[in-house]
Chain A
Amino acid sequence: MSAVQTGEIITFFILAPLAVIGALGMVLARNAVHSALWLILTMLSLGVFYIVQAGPFIGMVQIIVYTGAIMMLFLFVLMLVGRDASDSVIETLRGQKVVGTLLGVGLAGLMATGIYQATRDYTVVGLEAANKDGNVQGLAKLIFTNYVFAFEVTSALLITAAVGAMILAHQEKSGVKAVGQVAKMRERFLPGNYPGPKPGPGVFATSNSVATPAKLPDGNPSQRSISPILPTRELTAAEKADKPTLTGGA
């Protein structure tokens, strides 16, 4: 069944432009987060291509691992750096951009014509033979027999990745002693501490922010009601004003 189905053609002509637009958008977008989102478009389109071309497993891996996990990591890294951090536009080497673009386009052209020339006369056989026991089963047979060594060695890569992340991103705590439960409890009931729960934050009818402080009976905001890591919010006059309690039909 190497003939191309109509559905496949339609899918291709819808998704191929999208994939290219996504790739262009990724390169041209000014904002790094936008670039990442464009890349997701391209990767999703590629994932669908794989599925359409009789490779459902690789298609799903593309979507789960690349668009899911790897893109998440991309976004994390962008957030680590700060999403407003932008590249310096000053070229350290003069004309680097122009030369780089020309060489890149040249290489792409060379590769594309080369591959086109080389594959023009090929007869497409499809994946029927490879997929005869099922796509995933066929892959499993290869992974767990002939390529078993490469498969096991992949775990070395995973260990290296985890160790590397620890080395580069983890700081060990220094000098902070763990406080036990008993000590914490004693501290809580020391004179001068109020042992009960803290009041919840602000007035949810007028604001949906947990940074809005609750009001004490005398109308003053209670600083105890908001988490110390949140910036306090300036209340507007309307919010400061005493709210009438709704009674009956008033």
Chain B
Amino acid sequence: MAGNSLELMQGTLDVLILKSLSWGPLHGYAVAEVVRERSGEELKVEEGALYPALHRLEKRGLLEAEWGLSENNRRAKFYRLTSAGRAHLRAETQAWQRYVAAVSRVLEAA
């Protein structure tokens, strides 16, 4: 099942989690699925790393958690972006884009 998915780079998991929650509250399982689908099955979230990351973001006040009912009527813990989390996502996204652009410029300079 590992397939040929790309390994996640250090530090990008947090941004991906924040981004996937920017469309609305999700539980942990759904976060993993969303990241996989949106990346065209290219990125695969390491489930062992996902939950500690979620909890750390919650501790930092970037996420809020609440127990709710899942699509199949099970109790599940839903995460939601806080306004601090939204600001953090914006800043991280910009930084990432500048980083990618700079690396690309170097790599594509023939």
- Mutual binders A and B: no
Residues of A whose CB lies within 8 Å of any CB of B are none
Residues in B lying within 8 Å of A, measured CB to CB: none
